[in-house]
């Protein structure tokens, strides 16, 4: 399994990374995004959607948990599971259709539903490093993801 360490110096660079992976995304891909509030998970997701050719604006689906975008090259299901309290809630939402379907899935706060993630899920962790400035981010990518 591959592992990558990257750094971004501003939101545009995180967006660009997402866009690159979105442009290369393949059916069935599942990406788990972790990192604190404001780390840049949604910034990455916005770039990823852009790379897929999604036309609609992308925001964290904090209250709806999931949002499906169908205007791109592949369907994109974007989850924000911050408010999930029990895995059963994911079942009610029907998460398996996304995780095991032919679209692409991005999951913000994926560590909260660790036990539900498919084995080949790609992990992307975004961390601040205040010593290096407000807009500096350290990004670790673990797994085999097209585009890197």
Judged by the rule CB under 6 A, the positions of this chain that interact with ligand ADP are: 8, 10-11, 13-14, 35, 37-43, 60, 108, 135, 137
Nearer to Mg ion, 62 or 129 (CB): 62
Among 33, 40, 41, 98, binds Mg ion (CB under 5 A): 41
Nearer to Mg ion, 107 or 122 (CB): 107
Give, in degrees to the nearest 5, the angle at Cα 147 between 137 and 106: 65
Q: How far is the CB of 102 from ligand ADP (least distance, A)?
A: 26
Please give the Cα distance from 19 to 23 (Å, whole number): 6
For the stretch 62-68, contacts whose Cβ atoms lie closer than 8 Å and that sit 24 or more positions apart, written own/partner, are 65/89, 65/93, 66/93, 66/95, 66/98, 68/98, 68/103
Query: Could you tell which of ligand ADP, Mg ion, none binds residue 137, using a CB distance below 5 to 8 A set by kind?
Result: ligand ADP
CB of 72 within 8 A of CB of 103?
no
Nearer to ligand ADP, 1 or 37 (CB): 37
Nearer to ligand ADP, 71 or 129 (CB): 129
Q: How far is the CB of 41 from Mg ion (least distance, A)?
A: 5
Please give the Cα distance from 17 to 106 (Å, whole number): 14
Q: How far is the CB of 98 from ligand ADP (least distance, A)?
A: 18
């Amino acid at each position: 399994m591959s592992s990558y360490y990257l750094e971004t110096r501003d939101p545009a660079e995180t967006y660009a990374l997402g866009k690159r992976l979105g442009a290369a995304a393949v059916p069935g891909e599942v990406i788990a995004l972790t990192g604190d509030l404001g780390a840049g998970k949604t910034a990455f997701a916005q770039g990823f959607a852009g790379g897929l050719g999604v036309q609609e604006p992308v925001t964290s689906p904090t209250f709806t948990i999931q949002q499906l975008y169908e205007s791109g090259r592949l369907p994109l299901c974007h989850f924000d599971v911050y408010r999930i309290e029990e895995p059963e809630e994911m079942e009610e939402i029907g998460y398996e259709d996304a995780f095991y379907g032919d679209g692409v899935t991005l999951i913000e706060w994926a560590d909260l539903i660790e036990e539900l993630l498919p084995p080949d899920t790609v992990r992307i962790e975004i961390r601040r490093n205040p010593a290096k400035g407000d807009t500096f981010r350290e990004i670790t990518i673990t797994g085999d993801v097209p585009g890197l």
